């Protein structure tokens, strides 16, 4: 209410701006920066430039009511994204079949047309990751659970993991697996992503939630997430070890249907990899 009064606008307008359903003009950005005590000229200029560019509607607007339209806009402008995922493969790295299975399972009884739109939007977002002129720098740390959680079926998982390894071999994409044997770690608090943008130090931390996403913009809070991510990278398997680890899990999905014996073999295999990773960390620390 105080923000609306300061800008001499209605509260509904402020709500629409905050939820990304209405563009903001550079003047409002300037006034809001003054209201919130943002004095860094570089940050203010960058935000005003982004406001001017936001007047040009993104491709996703034509797709209807996309629940995470604000994030897609940020993702489109970002130069680098570092993400930690404890449960599923990140959307930018998903295969069509895997993405379809995720959407069908996480949105209770979605209308067929809505599910199709969400799938189309997710796959179109992936074009940004492979832009020929400015490919997005992606670095993702996956909890080992992501590899063993059967999304769709075993064939879908095998295809997804093969795709993950192929993407991880590209120079602008890095994939690391954090093994169960690493024990407690900062990522236990849940999924998060950090986004950086060209020409500015003003980034954002994105926390995905079911009913409303969160964006962390306070510099001191962002710094904590960057420190957390440094620890996750250090505790995870190296990119090379990750590829070998994923290849072995792919073989398991190609084996006979899941049985108690198969699960026991998978657990033994994961433990061996975890022990090797812990031994590597101990050796580096000494």
**Span 91-132, pLDDT tens digits:** 999 999 999 999 888 876 666 777 888 888 889 889 888 888
Kindly tell me if the per-residue pLDDT of 14 is higher than 70.
no
Residue 126 within a domain = no
Domain identity same for 169 and 254:
yes
Report the b/e string of 3-35 with b at 16+ CB within 10 A: beeebeeeeeebeebeebeebbebebbbebbee
Domain identity same for 196 and 270:
yes
The residue among 181, 170, 174 whose CA lies nearest residue 144 is 181
Domain identity same for 52 and 144:
no
Domain identity same for 6 and 86:
no
Domain identity same for 202 and 239:
yes
Question: Per DSSP, what are the bridge partners of residue 205?
Answer: 194, 216
Residue 248 within a domain = yes
Question: For 16-43, what is each residue's pLDDT tens digit?
Answer: 565 555 566 677 778 777 777 777 777 7
Where is pLDDT greater, at 28 or 169?
A: 169
Identify the weakest region by mean pLDDT among 38-42, 46-50, 56-60. Answer: 56-60
pLDDT at 213: 73
Instruction: Please give the radius of gyration of the chain, using alpha carbons only, rounded to the nearest integer.
Output: 21
Model confidence at 153, pLDDT cuts 50, 70, 90, reads: very high
Domain identity same for 142 and 46:
no
Domain identity same for 3 and 86:
no
Instruction: State percent of the chain over pLDDT 90.
Output: 41
pLDDT at 194: 93
Domain identity same for 32 and 84:
no
Domain identity same for 218 and 83:
yes
Residue 70 within a domain = no
Token output for 50: 């982004």
Residue 63 within a domain = no
Q: Left (φ > 0), alpha (ψ -120 to 50) or beta: where does 8 sit? A: left
Domain identity same for 42 and 151:
no
Domain identity same for 52 and 80:
no
Residue 38 structural domain: 1-57
Hey, CA dihedral for 121, 18, 106, 186, is it positive or negative?
positive
Structural domain tally of the chain? 2
Residue 22 within a domain = yes
């Amino acid at each position: 209410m105080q923000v609306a009064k300061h800008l001499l606008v209605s509260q509904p307008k402020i709500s629409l701006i905050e939820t990304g359903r209405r563009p903001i003009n550079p003047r409002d950005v300037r006034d809001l920066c003054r209201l919130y005590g943002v004095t860094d000229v570089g940050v203010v200029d960058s935000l005003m430039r982004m406001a001017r560019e936001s007047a040009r509607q993104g491709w996703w607007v034509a797709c209807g009511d996309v629940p995470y339209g604000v994030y897609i806009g940020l993702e489109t402008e970002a130069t680098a994204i570092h993400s930690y995922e404890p449960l599923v493969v990140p959307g930018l790295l998903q295969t069509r079949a895997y993405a379809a299975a995720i959407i069908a399972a996480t949105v209770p009884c979605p209308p067929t047309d809505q599910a199709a739109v969400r799938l189309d939007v997710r796959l179109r977002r992936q074009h940004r990751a492979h832009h020929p002129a400015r490919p997005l720098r992606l670095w993702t740390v996956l909890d080992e659970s992501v590899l063993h959680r059967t999304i769709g079926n075993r064939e879908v998982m095998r295809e997804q993991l093969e795709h993950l390894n192929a993407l991880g071999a590209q120079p602008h994409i890095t994939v690391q697996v954090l093994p169960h044997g690493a024990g407690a770690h900062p990522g236990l608090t849940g999924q998060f992503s950090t986004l950086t943008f060209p020409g500015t130090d003003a980034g954002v931390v994105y926390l995905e939630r079911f009913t409303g996403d969160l964006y962390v913009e306070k510099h001191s809070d962002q710094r904590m997430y960057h420190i957390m991510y440094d620890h996750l990278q250090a505790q995870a398997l190296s990119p090379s070890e990750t590829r070998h680890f994923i290849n072995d899990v792919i073989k398991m999905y190609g084996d006979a249907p899941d049985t108690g014996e198969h699960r026991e073999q998978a657990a033994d295999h994961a433990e061996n990899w975890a022990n090797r990773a812990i031994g590597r960390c101990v050796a580096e620390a000494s």
